Structure 1
Amino acid sequence: MTADIRPSRDVREGTATRRALVLFAALASLPGVACADDWAATVAVSSQLVDRGIPISAPGPVAQGAVNWFTPSGWSFGASASYQTRPVGRVAETLLQGAKAWRIDDDWQAQASALYYRYPDNPAWRAFERVELGGTVIFRDVLTVGLSAAERLHGGGTPRGALDVGLRWPLGDHLSLAAGAGVARYLVAPYHYYDGQRVGTGSTSYAYGHAGLAWTDGAWRVEVLRVMADRDRRPFEREASPWLATVARSF
């Protein structure tokens, strides 16, 4: 559920957390069918960068920015970056994406996407750099179901799949419930040490989820989420904070 920002074409609402919010981000990124080429941008600050339940950054402020270009035929292209302000300043994650959206009927929409992830200032995360292909279906901007496969750029191996289901339920004029759950294969297999030797845990997949509230008013968005994951800890030494907060502004 970790944190790139993909602003909605139609309502200009920015989602500012990465894969802890992957389900909601997939919904927010849907460009729909436009009347003309257009641009959108979002800036945000999050309390941590989390990617499908795995912490990308240490707890602490993460500044984020994204820009997206949309075409009348449903294509969109974008780039985003996340900067960890402490304990040391570093670019935590960069992301390039392309997507094609279709409106099936008044209730259903679909999107196919390709994403490229890179972690330029964190050599330890080089093994997580990847290309990811995915498909998403959306029901009335309320229910989102996504299926994806990631291919690591370093280290090889078979593609790693993930299934995500998300829900955004309006509670009032500005408030909504944001929840989701998913299951994914580890990009890098977890391990532990036994008698001084590194030993694999045997785990190949894990589950994760989030639940919380989102408040939106015009171009502003605030989210507070409870993040959960049943993953093995190693090689992910840092722990994800149980709560994730984001403030975002779209343009």
Structure 2
Amino acid sequence: MRSARWLATLPTRACVRLGIGVSAVLLALPGTALHAQSSTLGGALALSNQLVDRGLAVTPKTPVLQGALSWTTPSGWSLGLSASTETRSPAQVVEALAQASYAWSLSSDWQMQAGLMYYRYGNDSHWRSYDRVELAATWIYRDVLTLGLSEAQLIHSGGRGPRGAADIGFRWPLAWKLAGSAGIGTAQYLVPPYYRQHPRYQYGHVGLVWENAGWRVELNHIVTQHAPRPAGSPAVSPWNATIARTF
């Protein structure tokens, strides 16, 4: 779900983000494979029709430009920075992410990745309340199946405890450099009053991914149930398209 990323440690945040998203671009950088022989600096640029975070729309249905940088080591450590901005207001960052993670092999088939992430949103009064620190663990089976768990602590929480999320992602290679992808997830609401009305909401996607020589094109159909929708907040587009280039 995360973009079944271009690496061996693949689909973590895709499951979480349903669409390439900022962190998906970040984790899709080619240098994060466990077999890297030397430290690697990489980057990515992506253009999406909307930024979606765990089934919730961060931006309106408008083009979003995303960029990411990542530094990885042969031992499995990775540091990354990424940011997203609406093309209609390029001076304003709508979401920024800083991440530190570590990946290792559990067996010939299974890999694991643990990471600490800091999310910072723009000056919008609604999304500013979603600024958070998040701890995530992901298990990957043969670049096909991904299981993810995370706990998020809001920075402006007023004393509320951490909020959890769980995701399952699936990716299957097809012909002509295509792959099918699907995923489902469930998460606790981060901010009131929604977490008092329903303890959790659910989200999922099915889609196609095409990858070739550093290019990636992805189209996902997104479904969200029991999701919070504050007055004036954007709705999630049922279709999410992304074109991305790594370097």
Aligned to 2:177: 174
Q: 1:8 to 1:42 in 2, by over 3 A?
A: same
Aligned to 1:112: 114
| Number of equivalent positions | 240
Structure 1 ranges of 4+ moved more than 2 A: 5-13, 15-18, 21-31, 86-90, 120-124, 231-237
Deviates more, 1:59-68 or 1:234-243: 234-243
TM-score for both structures, normalised by structure 1:
0.86
Which amino acid counterpart does residue 157 of structure 1 have in structure 2? R
Aligned Cα RMSD in Å? 3.0
Deviates more, 1:233-242 or 1:161-170: 233-242
Which amino acid counterpart does residue 222 of structure 2 have in structure 1? V
Deviation at 1:122, TM superposition (A): 2.3
From 234, 237, 241, give the equivalent of 1:238: 234
The DSSP-based 3-state class of the residue aligned with 2:128 is helix
The DSSP-based 3-state class of the residue aligned with 2:74 is coil
Distance 1:218 1:180 in 2: 25
Which amino acid counterpart does residue 163 of structure 2 have in structure 1? R
Which amino acid counterpart does residue 227 of structure 1 have in structure 2? I
Quote the sequence identity (%): 45
From 197, 204, 229, give the equivalent of 1:202: 197
Q: Deviations over 1:187-228 (max 9, x none)?
A: 11345xxxxxxxx86112100001010011111000000011
Distance 1:16 1:64 in 2: 15
The answer to whether the Cα contact below 8 Å between 2:8 and 2:143 also exists between their aligned partners in 1 is no
Deviation at 1:120, TM superposition (A): 2.9
Aligned to 1:219: 214
Deviation at 1:57, TM superposition (A): 0.5
Q: Deviations over 1:104-141 (max 9, x none)?
A: 22211000000000013323211100000010000001
Deviation at 1:39, TM superposition (A): 1.2
From 57, 60, 72, give the equivalent of 1:58: 60
Note the 1:127-138 alignment, pairs <5 A. Answer: 127-138=129-140
Note the 1:39-78 alignment, pairs <5 A. Answer: 39-78=41-80
Aligned to 1:19: 17
For structure 2, the 5+ residue unaligned runs are none
For structure 1, the 5+ residue unaligned runs are 192-199
TM-score for both structures, normalised by structure 2:
0.87
The answer to whether the Cα contact below 8 Å between 2:105 and 2:112 also exists between their aligned partners in 1 is yes
Note the 1:157-196 alignment, pairs <5 A. Answer: 157-190=160-193
The DSSP-based 3-state class of the residue aligned with 2:184 is strand
Deviation at 1:34, TM superposition (A): 1.8
Aligned to 1:194: none
The DSSP-based 3-state class of the residue aligned with 1:32 is coil
